[in-house]
Amino acid sequence: MVGKVAQVINIPFTVGGGINAFEDVERQLFAGADKVSINSAAIRTPNLIDKISASFGSQVCVCAIDARMEADGQWYCYVKGGRERTDLKLLDWATEVADRGAGEILFTSMNHDGVKQGFANEALARLADELSIPVIASGGAGNMQHFRDAFTLGKADAALAASVFHFGEIAIPDLKKYLRNEGINVRI
């Protein structure tokens, strides 16, 4: 599938899901992916991050972090598609990921994912303030203002959404124009 996608698009793309070993990374890159995104594998085998960045450059390694704010007010990281909680705290793990050589963090707030009430801007801003690598916001987009807030309040470097685009609730060209008008640097 990655090879077929690489043949028909002319933009960089990242592949995630099911990447469990270094050989999986090599396979995806040689098939045409520009980057790989790892979550559960990174938590199970943190030195996978080191190996990817040492072999291909930090720009290839995107560490996805699925986290949920629990009743104690702490953000905990999850694996297995958000089904299993770990003892890792969001900021601690994000710092380790950056120190190991990841080029970006894709932070998904599981509290916000799918509810279309906005991104976890407080957590995003804290990550952006504490880390020297880009942070991608995921989980919570419901309207164009949510994207603006992710960039202004959350200090995110990029923002991701799925259903609002898939179901035509927001047209990407309209979102880009809106963000540009709001003072966000966007390629049109």
pTM here? 0.95
pLDDT digits (tens, 9 = 90+) for 126-136: 999 999 999 99
HEC readout, 28-80? HHHHCCCEEEECHHHHHCCHHHHHHHHHHCHHHEEEEEEEEECCCCCEEEEEC
- CA-closest candidate to residue 101, choices 64, 51, 35: 51
β 84-89/75-79 pair status: antiparallel
pLDDT of residue 81: 85
pLDDT of residue 9: 95
pLDDT of residue 170: 97
* Residue 26: both structure tokens together: 């090599």
d(CA 157, CA 162): 17
pLDDT digits (tens, 9 = 90+) for 121-175: 999 999 999 999 999 999 999 999 999 999 999 999 999 999 999 999 999 999 9
d(CA 89, CA 25): 26
**DSSP H or E segment with residue 16:** strand 14-16
Residues of the chain with pLDDT under 70: none
**DSSP H or E segment with residue 89:** strand 84-89
pLDDT of residue 124: 98
